[in-house]
Structure 1
């Protein structure tokens, strides 16, 4: 789905949105350990971007929680994301890479899309431009700011545990 690629190219730090936050200039990420976000673990599905989204989070191992994301549109893979939340310098960072349905990468081999931790609440984790919220044991909402050319939009993904 080539029309999705320009839409999904991430341009972080442009604006605040309704459910997402940014670190203020000079502000550091809070000290947090990975065990505070273990509620993400599991297989989640929902409707997104005109298709069906699936997100799978592994339990913590080796200082990270690994995830995969897949968007299926009209029975075909639109794109994947692979990444992790990693403990780094006494805080958390979410890093990911995008791939087309044939696993060709969007980013260069050395490049990742990184989200610094802004703050953490009991069932809500705020990274720069991306927020994940546990609504109950079987529901999660992910809000992400997408943008290009100075225009941004916040997309909301509503998931159910599968």
Structure 2
């Protein structure tokens, strides 16, 4: 599913409640193998979670997530690891995404460099979709990256 959006207005302040719909244990498929994700409920100033990707009964990639509350909204931080817990990013670096906006069961984040946007969306009570967007001809074009079921 591809969705295009025009450039949006400056970010509004948000809260962890805007991404609380992530909570739970989720299963899907990606690149010919199973994918599993889990996120905690908001507690204090954070939400934590993971994604585990596998193929042929072996791990291919792990992603660890932290959403931390800031004065302008939640910030999503992601670190990627290869099997053996070998970090992809430098030791003290993480992909960071700032909060842009949220609606009913939907939150939009933008990577610090402004090149990628991520939508977290609960489409049905038991379905969670993560979309990745890139700027094309002045419009943000989003495609489903991960589709999970509870």
TM-score of the superposed pair, with normalisation by structure 1: 0.76
Quote the Cα distance in structure 1 between the aligned partners of 2:118 and 2:87: 21
More off after superposition, 83-92 vs 106-115: 83-92
Q: Deviations over 1:20-72 (max 9, x none)?
A: 76966xx6421111123212100001011221111100111121110111001
Is 1:34 the counterpart of 2:16? The answer is yes
Alignment pair present for 1:133 and 2:115: no
Q: Which runs of 5+ in 1 are unaligned?
A: 1-16, 147-151
Q: 1:94 to 1:22 in 2, by over 3 A?
A: farther
Deviations 1:79-103 (A, max 9, x none): 1000211111231111010000110
The answer for the alignment partner of 2:66 in structure 1 is 84
- Alpha-carbon distance in structure 1 between the residues aligned to 2:75 and 2:2: 21
2:62 and 2:83 in contact (8 A); partners too? yes
Q: Which runs of 5+ in 2 are unaligned?
A: 111-116, 135-140
2:11/2:101 contact within 8 Å kept: yes
Contact 2:27 2:35 in 1 (8 A): yes
Q: CA deviation at 1:155?
A: 4.6
Q: Indicate the RMSD between aligned Cα atoms, in angstroms.
A: 2.4
Matches within 5 A, 1:63-74: 63-74=45-56
* 1:159 is aligned to 2:148: yes
On the 8 A contact 1:94/1:115 being kept in 2, the answer is yes
Q: Which residue of 1 aligns with 2:113?
A: none
TM-score (norm 2): 0.81
With over 3 angstroms needed to count, the CA separation of the structure-2 counterparts of 1:21 and 1:103, relative to structure 1, is farther
SS of the residue aligned with 2:107?
strand
**Structure 1 residues 62, 125: closer, same or farther in 2, change over 3 A?**
same
Greater strand fraction, Structure 1 or Structure 2: 2
Distance in 2, Cα, partners of 1:52 & 1:68: 14
